Amino acid sequence: MAKQLKFTLKKGLVGSTQRQKDNVHSLGLRKIGQSVVRDDTPAYRGMANKVRHLVTVEEID
């Protein structure tokens, strides 16, 4: 089984650029405190890196 990442939205999107909002929505996050689990791919890591001040990332085995 491939590794997975758990993304959690920690801060709101007010004051963020449209590009940051699009990245957060592409991760599947809509509300503060919401978490989603995605496969560990370079695309998801790159999106999370661009909004690292808004989300937390945990590795799940």
Which sequence spans correspond to the domains of the chain? 4-60
Residues 6+ apart with CB under 8 A from 31: 9
Distance, CA of 13 to CA of 42 (rounded, Å): 23
Task: Give the pair of three-digit tokens for residue 34.
Answer: 């919401």
Q: What's the confidence (pLDDT) of residue 61? A: 82
DSSP-H helix ranges across the chain: 18-27, 42-50
Task: Give the pair of three-digit tokens for residue 38.
Answer: 């995605």
- CATH number assigned to the domain covering 4-60: 3.30.1390.20
Tell me if 32 sits within 8 A of 11, measured CB to CB. yes
pLDDT in tens, 11-46: 999 999 999 999 999 999 999 999 999 999 999 999
